[in-house]
Structure formats: C-alpha cells, structure tokens
Structure 1
Amino acid sequence: MADTAVLRQHAPQRPAPRPPRAGGLLAGLVRTARPKQWVKNVLVVAAPAAAGELFTAPALTRLPLVFALFTACAAAVYLVNDARDAEADRAHPVKRRRPVAAGQVPVPVAYAAGAALGVLAPAAALWLRAPAVAALLTAYLAMQLAYCLTLKHVLVVDLAVVTTGFLMRAVIGGLALGIPLSRWFLITTGFGALFMVAAKRYSEAVQMAGTAGATRALLTEYTPGYLRFVWQLAAGVAVLGYCLWALEEGGLPHTGLLPWRQLSVVAFVLAVLRYAVFADRGTAGEPEDVVLRDRALALIGLVWAAMYAAAVANW
C-alpha cells in the first residue's frame, strides 16, 4: 500500500485543460454554426424567383439581409443543440469532433452565443421594419428549439418539423417582399422538402442498420420500408404540384418563342428522378453533398434555371 501511494505521488499528472484561445474559440463557433448548411438558406430566393421578381431593386436589397438573418437563426439552433448534446456527442465516433463536444467551445459559451443570435436576428428584422419576417424568424426558433428538446423523439412529427423549417425558408423571401404565395408553390416546396428529409432519414436507416439507436434513437422506430414510402409519396406530390403550377401559369398568353414554363416540367422531373437514385441507394444522407457534387444533377438544375429564366423574361 505504501509503495502504491509513493507511485501515485510520483506519477505524472495530466495537465489541466487550457481555456480555448480566442482564435480557436472563434473558429469553433463558426464551425458549430455549420457553414456547409448555409446553402439551404438560398431557399429564401425561391418565392421572388417564382414570381419573376428576383432582380428587382427591393429583392436585391432585402434578400441578402433576410438570408443573413435566417442564417443567424439557424446558427443559434445549431449552437444550442450542440451544447445540449455535448455529452452524448463525445461518445459518438464522428460527432465527438464537433467543437463543443471536443472542448474547443465551452458549453456555456455555446449557449450564450446561441441565445445572442436568437435574440438579435428577430430584433434586427423589427428594426428594419419587417414585422412579418421577425414573426416568422421567432416561430422558426421556437419550433427548432422544441425539436431539439422533445419533438425530434416523436414519430412523424420530427419529419414534419424539419420539412416545415425548409418551407419557412422558402416563404420568408415572399414575406419580405410582399409577394403572394401560390398554393402550388407551397405544395411543391413543402413536399419537395419532405422528399429530401425522408430520403435523408431512409439513407441513415440503411447505413446505420443495427446501430441506428446509437446515432439517432428515433431511427429504430422507423422501418426502411416506411421511410421509402414517405419519400416516394412526397416526390410524387411535389411533381404533381409543380406540373399543375407550371400548366396553370404557362397557360397564360405569352409571346415567347416556346412555352418555357411548361417545358421546365421535364427538367424538374429529371431532377427528382436523379435525386431518387441516391435516395434509393441509401446515399442521400447529406442532401447538400448530393446537390453540390453530382454533376448530372447540377447540369439538370442549370437547364431548369435557364428554362425558367426564359419563361420569366418571356423569350
């Protein structure tokens, strides 16, 4: 016992963890805000683009601000989520590298930064005299925080909440510019988002078969067959909604060379079919990677954008 005490006394002690440096802390906060996910917020231009008002003076001045405010709100949610899940993330082989779980960003700092962004973004919208935008940002924050706390553990509701988050991104651009939102636009956007969300869950369920509970507990409650049914149903409704929207709008008199709005249906359907390839393989776990890295999908997207631009310009 004495020898053991002597050994313990002379054993090298682990140095106490040093507080994060200012530069490392700032870099960690930025990483926690998920810059890779900011591409989702480009959806704020969806409504102005659909209405043909994307390049008007109000759109060019207001949409960048709306994009920044929504990005701040999303970052606030990520910060709070990572602070809350820090202990669980440390036991995960990948998530343990997140700045909060790794100790690069202290948990209290993450909470404080998230709270600050969550308060400042709606307040800035009010200061800019955009009460509708402030109200939607507040609703988004409330819904996402409820998701982090409880709703992500409720079957089907978790899919609806994530889908609604995407839909809010698309709606806020129209609110900022006072653009009426077509029912077909809302149906197409909402079910298109559900298609991608369900495909993501399906991919996670396929890839983590047998160990799903260790990464996302709710995946053990879903079956791959059910998630496949959801993304297939959502894809079908999104395509139908887009067709009805394009035919309704495209049926108006035009003087262009071709009915570009109607023809854009072809590119839209091809894009859905191309994305469904990755969903069916179970490799659509990161939607932004699929959209940005697949050249064929990017080319189809460019063709669709060109067709829609021609329809707006009435060429």
Structure 2
Amino acid sequence: MHPYLKLLRPEQYIKNAFIAAPLFFSGGITWVQMGNTFLAFFAFCAIASSVYIFNDSRDIVEDQAHPVKKNRPLAAGDVSLTAAYRLAGILLGIGFALAYYCHPKIVGVLALYLFINILYSIRLKQIALVDVSIIAIGFLLRLWVGSIASSTHLSIWIILETYLLALFLALAKRRTDFILHLEGVTTRKNIEHYNLAFIDTCLGILSALITVAYLMYCMSPDIQNQYQSDYIYISAFFVLNGLLRYLKLAIVDQTPLAPNTLVLKDRYLQCTLLGWLLFMGLLLYGQA
C-alpha cells in the first residue's frame, strides 16, 4: 500500500459503518436517504483520517517502539511531517465540504468529533478509562451523523448497545496493549494504570450488559411491533456468539490485532456479523 494511502488508515473506515445503522434500523430506506448516508460516510472518513494523521504525528516515538505501529508511514519515515499536515488540511476541507452539502448540522457534529479527538491526542488518551470512554463517544457521534443524514430517529436501544460495544472493543484492545507492556513493549503512556484482572473483569461485566440489553431490546413490545415478529430474540444467538468469539481471540489466543482488523480477517466473526445482518434485514424488509 502506498505510504500516503496507508497514512489515511482506510482499514479503520469499517468503524464508520455505524453511520448507516440509523437508516438500516429505521425499517424504510429511500434513495435520497441512502445517498445522504453515503455522503456522510465519506465526510466522516475524511475527517477521521485527518485525526489519525494528527495522532500519528504526536506518537512517532511511541509507535517506533511498537511491533506493529512501527510500520506506520510517519514512524517509519516514509512520509514527512510537513506533507502529512498538508494532507490532513486537504482532508479537513473535503470532509467539512461534503458534510455541509449533506446537511449543515453534520458540520457541527464533525467539528465536535475533531475537537474531542484533538484533546484525546494531546492529553485525554493518557488518562486511564477516559481514553476508552472517548473512543466510545466517537461511535455515538457516528450514529448522530447517520441519524441527521438519513433524517431518522435514534432509539435509546441503539445508543446504549453501541456505547457498551464500543467500550468492550476498546478495553479488549487495551488488554492486547497490556500484554505487550508485560513483554517489555511500551504501547501507550497510560497502560501501566491498567492490569489484566481489571480489564478482564470489565470485559466480563460489559459482555453481560451487552447481552442483557440486547435481550431487553428483543423483548421490547415497541421493537417487536416494529419488526412485526416475535422471533427477533433468535438474533441474540449471533450477538452472543460474536461476543464469545471475540473474548476467545482476546483472552485465549491473545491476538495482537485491532478490532477492525479482526473483523476483516477472522472468518468466524465475519460469518456471525453477516448472519446477524441478514436475519435482521429479513425481519425488517422481508415483508416489504
């Protein structure tokens, strides 16, 4: 992959699929809504890439000591800081222009995302628990952008599940970082404020909360009425299996990969996610 393309971290764009969630779960999709959602997706990708560039520019020394991050363009010296900042500026312009064209309100949400992530890169990522909370908030902002773009309502269920899942994934990543820390590889400055017992306890609690919240979602009369089905609870099979698989990869196999990379490489997770999407899509749109 070309260094400049690699600098954008396109593999992270899978996170921005959450922008499409409000439209998908609305139960009704129009071409206009779909077009606006795609536009919002590309706008968010551009802003997110500029954030990644800024973050990488501040972590060059730490990344050079990381077994995987040392291959990032700035850490490896493949791209100069000046060129990286110019690219970030161009991406910001493109992202905000697309956002304004889609809906002016999205500009405000993206500005908030940018502001929070600048603070994250400068200071907040050094504070244990605050760092993972900021990551989770980023996913909620993706939902907000998707809701504005598609003119759909955000239910409390999708907000709750997204926040819990994002916390779960962020803490699972911290577990990987802590394993590397034990092996003498310093991955981030705040990692010494975590330990395996704490992280594993949090992962267990979050797994339980995600499962219970999802079952409550499935049994909600409003949701069953929306889906016009009493069998939505079957979808919990995919959710539980996905969580268990991820826990196995993180705890048993100690896979040193980021969540987005795992989803792109692990066939079990891919099949589980695809099965869940197909089942939910069938319930929502099968009678259309």
- One fold, TM greater than 0.5? yes
1:75 to 49, 52, 68: 49
What does the per-residue CA deviation read over 1:253-282, in whole Å, with 9 as the maximum and x for residues that have no partner?
Answer: 876xx6342321222222222222112223
Q: Which residue of 1 aligns with 2:236?
A: 265
2:144 to 150, 171, 174: 171
CA distance in 2, matches of 1:67, 1:254: 26
Q: Which residue of 2 aligns with 1:21?
A: none
CA contact (8 A) 2:40 2:98 kept: no
SS of aligned partner of 1:252 = helix
- Is residue 211 of structure 2 the alignment partner of residue 239 of structure 1? yes
5 Å-filtered alignment, 1:208-247, equals 208-212=181-185, 214-247=186-219
The alpha carbon displacement at 1:210 in A equals 4.2
Kindly provide the amino acid, as one letter, of the partner of residue 115 in structure 1.
G
Q: Which residue of 2 aligns with 1:52?
A: 27
Q: Which residue of 2 aligns with 1:10?
A: none
RMSD between aligned alpha carbons?
Answer: 2.2
5 Å-filtered alignment, 1:28-67, equals 28-53=3-28, 55-67=29-41
5+ unaligned residues in a row in structure 1: which ranges?
1-23
The alpha carbon displacement at 1:143 in A equals 0.8
CA distance in 2, matches of 1:198, 1:108: 33
What does the per-residue CA deviation read over 1:137-158, in whole Å, with 9 as the maximum and x for residues that have no partner?
Answer: 1111111111111011011100
CA contact (8 A) 1:199 1:285 kept: no
Kindly provide the amino acid, as one letter, of the partner of residue 278 in structure 1.
L
Which of 1 and 2 has higher RCO (CA within 8 Å, sep 6+)? 2
TM-score by length of 1: 0.83
Count of residue pairs brought into register by the alignment? 285
The alpha carbon displacement at 1:32 in A equals 0.6
5 Å-filtered alignment, 1:1-315, equals 27-53=2-28, 55-126=29-100, 128=101, 130-212=103-185, 214-248=186-220, 249-252=222-225, 259-281=230-252, 282-283=254-255, 285-315=257-287
What does the per-residue CA deviation read over 1:76-133, in whole Å, with 9 as the maximum and x for residues that have no partner?
Answer: 011112222334434555433322233321111212221332244124322x151221
SS of aligned partner of 1:215 = coil
What does the per-residue CA deviation read over 1:202-239, in whole Å, with 9 as the maximum and x for residues that have no partner?
Answer: 12212431425x22121111111111122222222222
CA contact (8 A) 1:189 1:238 kept: no
Kindly provide the amino acid, as one letter, of the partner of residue 25 in structure 2.
A
CA contact (8 A) 1:188 1:239 kept: no
Kindly provide the amino acid, as one letter, of the partner of residue 143 in structure 1.
I
Kindly provide the amino acid, as one letter, of the partner of residue 121 in structure 1.
G
Q: Which moved more, 1:135-144 or 1:58-67?
A: 58-67
The alpha carbon displacement at 1:170 in A equals 2.7
Task: Decide which structure has the larger Cα Rg and report it.
Answer: 1
SS of aligned partner of 2:225 = coil
CA distance in 1, matches of 2:21, 2:235: 15
TM-score by length of 2: 0.90
